[in-house]
Structure formats: C-alpha cells, structure tokens
Structure 1
C-alpha cells in the first residue's frame, strides 16, 4: 500500500472515509479482497499477500480499518518479519501493548507506517518516526511512503481532491464511492523541482510521483474505498488493476456493523 487518504468526522453522514492505492510488483502473488480467517482466528476483509502472508489493508466486521505502507529508503534493511502482519496485529492486540512492543524492537520490520482507524478516531505508528505513536482525531489525513502528512506532491493533490469530495458528499454511499474512485486514478506526474529525494534516483522518483502508478512490471494493483455511515453501514469497494493500468475485477462488500 503506497498511498492512503482518510477523513475522520468530516461529513455528518460518513464519520469515516478511507481511500487507498496499493502499489506492488505485478509478479507478486496476491489474492483479491475477500473475507478470510487469520491464523489467530480473526475474521477480516482484506486482500492477501501470498508471498509473505498478511495484508496491506484490513477491515474488521466492527468497522475498524488498519493499513500499512512501507517507508521508501534507498538501501533498506530487510526486517526479520513481514510488514504484512502489522494490519492483522493492529486489529488483534491492544493499542498500548502493540505500540510498546514495536517501539522496543524497531528493527523487527523494515521501515513502515501503520494506521488504525475507527469511527471517532484512531492512531498512527512508524518505526522511522522520532516520536512514534500519534493519536488521530477529526480531520483529513494523507500517508504515502514517508511519515504521516509528509507533503509529497501526489499526497497533497489527492488529499485536497478527496477532502472536497467527502465534505460535499450527499447521503448516497454508492455516489460517493463512484466519485472517489477516479480521484485515485490520477496519473499526473509531479514536476522535478517538487520531487522528494528518497535515494532511489530521479527516474524512479518521477515514475512514482503520480497517485496512480502505471507500469508493466510495477504499478498500482488495487484501489480501495471504505465508508462507514452514521447508521453503522460499512461499504467497501475495491478495483483491481493489471500491468499498464488495465482494469481488472471490481468487488464490493456491504454489511451492518
């Protein structure tokens, strides 16, 4: 997962809205979003990484949402465990206990950002943050492959468009999902002068600078929209993508919390 934007308490009808793109190599084996049971017995809605296990974004039946992104580093150290287990752990373990354990062993995983969201707030933790562990309250947020709210051009562009769409949304859930999906298909590259320097080289920075990444070997593989309304109705839409931005399967799930 490489780009997430979310709104907490920014529309009276939809207290929680999440929109995300997952970028990955197309050869990495992946199961599309569906309900499945984790090794610890949790029932979650999530895609599944079939290479290392785990997931990049998970939704619990009670409406909690967890997601992880990697931190882009030029020569990253390989962690001892897959970051894909983090969204699952964030749903299963008490916040304080999990964060204390992560803070005590910062090299257990390669660089990561982890968010846990619910109807009235949430929290964020990164093992690359000098002051890890932040509470999240009402507002619009964006997260890519650096720390929360780091003003990368693609994050700023998507967060602005997303915020406007959420604030102006009427009570029609499907209309909101339909409006948000195209916002995450923005292929506009950022100007060179605005690109971050994360140690991967200028050409790669350019390639990764748009909200929607189009490539033959690597690119955006899934776009996910999640809404929770004031009546506790959860709706999740996920659009899968193939090489070159080819549209693949679209799935939608809806249930009462």
Structure 2
C-alpha cells in the first residue's frame, strides 16, 4: 500500500473514510479481498509472505501499512504485512510497546489504526519516526512512503480532492461516493521535477512513482480500496483491482451493519 488518504470526523454522516491505492509488483502473488477465517478480518492477502496491506474488522476499524521508501533498504526479518493484522488483534498500548522493542525486526514502515468511534480517531506508528506512536484526532490525513502528512505532491493532491468531496453538502448514496473516490484515486498525473522528493531511488524512478495512480508493465497500482463507516452503522468496503495497463479488473464490494455510532 503506497497511498492512503483518511478522514476522521470530517463529515456528519461518515465519521471514518479511507481511500487507498496499493502499488506493488504485478508478479507478486496476491489473493483478492475476502473474509479471513482466523482472525475474523476482511483483507486481501499477500500470498508470498502471508500478510496484508489493509484490513477491516467487524466493528469498522481499519489498519493499513505502507513501506518507507529508502534508497538502500535493509531487509527485515519479519514481513511488514503482519502489522495490520497485529494492529486489529492487539491493544494499541501493548502493540506500541512491542513494536518499540522490536523495531529492527522490520524494514521501514508506517502503520495506521483507525476507528469510527468517538467521531473518528486513530493511531500512527513508524519505525522511522524520531518519536514513534501518536494518537490522531479529527482531521484529513495522508500517508505515502514517508512519514504521516509528508507533503509529497501526490499525497497533497489526493488529500485535497478527498477533502473537497467530503465538504460537498449534497447527500449521496454510499455507492456513488465510493465510485467518485475511486475515480479520484485513478489520477495518473506525474509531479513536476522541482517538487519531487529525493528518496535515493534516482530521478527517473521518482518521476514514475510521483503520480497517485501508477501504470507500468512490471510495477504499478494493483488495487484501490475505499472504506466508509456511516453514523447509522453501515460499513461498506469496495476493492477495485487494476491490470498492468491500468484497466479495471476484479471489482468487489462488502457491506454489513454494526450498531449505530453516537
């Protein structure tokens, strides 16, 4: 997962909204989003390492991980794909203590855990942050392959687009909102050279990775995921898969009900 935009308490009907693109090598074996039997989570599955990039539990909590882009990354002994599962099955304080003690087990990562309760709140942890572990409150946030809210061009563009969509006072069916967000995340516009970050991968690669939606024969955006939790308790998750040519592939949608949110 390489671009996550999320909104906490920014819309009266949707205390939690997540819109994310997963960028990955096309040859990496992957199972589409579905319910896991153990633990009871909705997630796609990385068939190489066994983990996931984004998961949702029955209560509407979402956990997702991104890699930290580093020019010469060191391979971690544990897969970062286990982190979203740990986040949804472990108390946050306990997980933070364990991750702090085990930071070197993983390559660079960002992890978010988001909840629709109390008008939306969250938690963010990165083993590349000088002060890892912080609680998040109402607001619009963006996360890519650097620290939370790093002003990368594609992050700013998508965060602003999603915020504008949520600021629209018109009431839309959930399906229409999901379709609009998927269209926004399918933005192939590259950033100008003068605003590109320097993450040690070279200018040509920085250009290629600078668009919110990446199309390439070997590496690119493989799935877009939208999660909304309504105040009335409706939870809707849409996953749109993409081919190496950027064309729509498998489309899945899941919807269930939890108790209404106060």
TM-score range relative to shorter protein: over 0.9
| 239-248 or 57-66, larger mean C-alpha shift | 239-248
Paired residues for 1:107-256 under 5 Å: 107-119=104-116, 120-168=120-168, 170-256=171-257
Paired residue secondary structure (1:107): helix
Q: What's 2:85 paired with?
A: 88
Paired residue secondary structure (2:154): helix
Structure 1 consecutive aligned stretches of length 4 or more whose deviation exceeds 3 Å: none
TM-score, normalised relative to structure 1:
0.97
Query: Displacement, 1:167?
Result: 2.1
* Cα distance in 2 between the residues matched to 1:156 and 1:58: 24
Paired residue secondary structure (2:200): coil
Q: What's 2:12 paired with?
A: 12
User: 5+ unaligned residues in a row in structure 1: which ranges?
Assistant: none
Over aligned residues, Cα RMSD in angstroms?
0.8
Query: Displacement, 1:105?
Result: 2.0
Paired residue secondary structure (1:244): coil
* Cα distance in 2 between the residues matched to 1:86 and 1:222: 19
Question: Quick check: 1:13–1:171 contact (8 Å CA) kept in 2?
Answer: no
Query: Displacement, 1:171?
Result: 4.6
Spell out, residue by residue over 1:206-253, the C-alpha distance to the aligned partner (whole angstroms, 9 max, x if none).
000000000000000000000000011100011001112121011100
Q: What's 2:21 paired with?
A: 21
Spell out, residue by residue over 1:44-91, the C-alpha distance to the aligned partner (whole angstroms, 9 max, x if none).
110000000110000001110000000000000000100000000000
Paired residue secondary structure (2:199): coil
Query: Displacement, 1:172?
Result: 1.7
* Number of corresponding residues: 254
* Cα distance in 1 between the residues matched to 2:5 and 2:190: 18
TM-score, normalised relative to structure 2:
0.96
* Cα distance in 1 between the residues matched to 2:171 and 2:64: 26
